[in-house]
Structure 1
């Protein structure tokens, strides 16, 4: 396992970055993002130097939801909901692990894609494009969403899946690790969240809230995974707003990114995602 032990050192040095390297990045509420170079393509600006979220890479995650009694569930297609435009969409329902059927979402895949995912719609978008797909037990694609990730030597930050039931994760700390990658490193972040993320199945509120996050690297150890034993940093994230508190314990591998995410949701329930395969 020596290669795994030394990879974090070479990919993420623990020494302080020089002012020259700091000048290569913008600071957006503490998140370091590459400064745009008009002489380069979108991918060359934001994705070319990635070592985890490289274009074309596909990461497959399993997941489960755990209620306050300790019962575990997946999600499946629910009832059809007519839309004003004349088409229908599907709601979602929980299904017990032992009762999953062909319509049950079995896996969530994260694929890094090329180009500006919101060209013309979001001016100055500056993140690596990623796509989440929700794959059912019969291998069919039920739903998908396009969003972004940030990866550079200063930090790694990604949007979690936030469609269907996973909208609940908008209220939790996002997967995020910041250099220096050493136990004891701490940092803060904040994010405004609209009431549209509320749902009566966990919590509804009125108006905008602001989540205040506190993160800390609390450990580094070998973690058994479906990809073998991986040397991971353990990052504890806590979020607080006027509507309550949430938490995230993430396991970060410099080779595969966030390999396990253990969320404590706004209503006291839990959501867990775990990496199953990397392609």
Structure 2
């Protein structure tokens, strides 16, 4: 695969990424996901910080940005980690409230020098819930990532952007399987994230708008 990723986290800050959420009734109250990148280390060593907020409209998400700017602080519903380097882009998916179910799916991740790669994640039973599945002790998910298409087109606004399409199968011994599909673009990061969960639910995040903080 051609390594055309010259971005680091600085290229993504000062922007707000708005995703339309497509999901079943368990998450239907959440209409818009807002993703923000920050150029400082997260509580996870070696990772920069990303933040997620959930809003009923883009305007409501913009109010969060304006409030944070006026108070000169960083208050978000969920703050977690991302790794952006010349050879890879890896990030935590949303994992608050009912999105905790995504701990058992593959995380958004691309290696720019490979067409296939593996990733393992060890996690505890606090990610379980009677609404999807419960277990005792810890489990390890094993995900196999495969590039399917390096020139997949995705419509963002009135334009089509070129993406790398990645399919992932995840096996969790004694628990079950999950599937994920990601579209990655070098300018916007992961623009589409599709998850088939441990209980066969469908959750999608589709990037619709990218706004500059200075315009809000």
Specify if TM > 0.5: yes
Secondary structure in structure 2 of the residue aligned to 1:11 = coil
Q: Label 1:146 to 1:135 Cα distance change in 2 as closer, same or farther (>3 A).
A: same
Secondary structure in structure 2 of the residue aligned to 1:203 = coil
Q: Which residue of 2 aligns with 1:91?
A: none
Q: Distance in 2 between matches of 1:12 and 1:113?
A: 19
Q: CA deviation at 1:227?
A: 5.7
Work out whether 1:179 is the aligned partner of 2:112.
yes
Q: Which residue of 2 aligns with 1:131?
A: 51
Q: Which residue of 1 aligns with 2:21?
A: 63
State whether residues 227 and 277 of structure 1, in contact with CA within 8 Å, keep that contact through their aligned partners in structure 2.
no
Deviations 1:179-211 (A, max 9, x none): 226xxx111110001100001111111110000
Q: CA deviation at 1:149?
A: 0.7
State whether residues 240 and 246 of structure 1, in contact with CA within 8 Å, keep that contact through their aligned partners in structure 2.
yes
Q: Label 1:168 to 1:226 Cα distance change in 2 as closer, same or farther (>3 A).
A: farther
Higher relative contact order (CA 8 A, sep 6+): 2
Work out whether 1:116 is the aligned partner of 2:59.
no
Q: CA deviation at 1:265?
A: 0.5
Q: Which residue of 2 aligns with 1:276?
A: 208
Secondary structure in structure 1 of the residue aligned to 2:60 = coil
Q: Which residue of 1 aligns with 2:121?
A: 191
Secondary structure in structure 1 of the residue aligned to 2:192 = strand
Q: Distance in 2 between matches of 1:115 and 1:247?
A: 31
**Normalising to structure 1: TM-score of the pair?**
0.64
What RMSD, in angstroms, separates the aligned Cα atoms of the two structures?
2.5
Bigger radius of gyration? 1
Q: Which residue of 1 aligns with 2:154?
A: 223
**Normalising to structure 2: TM-score of the pair?**
0.82
Q: Which residue of 2 aligns with 1:233?
A: 164
Structure 1 gaps, min length 5: 1-7, 14-48, 67-72, 76-94, 96-103
Q: CA deviation at 1:60?
A: 0.9
Q: CA deviation at 1:50?
A: 1.1
Secondary structure in structure 2 of the residue aligned to 1:263 = strand
Q: Which residue of 2 aligns with 1:25?
A: none
Q: Label 1:162 to 1:127 Cα distance change in 2 as closer, same or farther (>3 A).
A: same
Work out whether 1:267 is the aligned partner of 2:199.
yes
Matched positions, count? 196
Q: Distance in 1 between matches of 2:11 and 2:207?
A: 14
State whether residues 202 and 266 of structure 1, in contact with CA within 8 Å, keep that contact through their aligned partners in structure 2.
yes
Q: Which residue of 2 aligns with 1:105?
A: 30
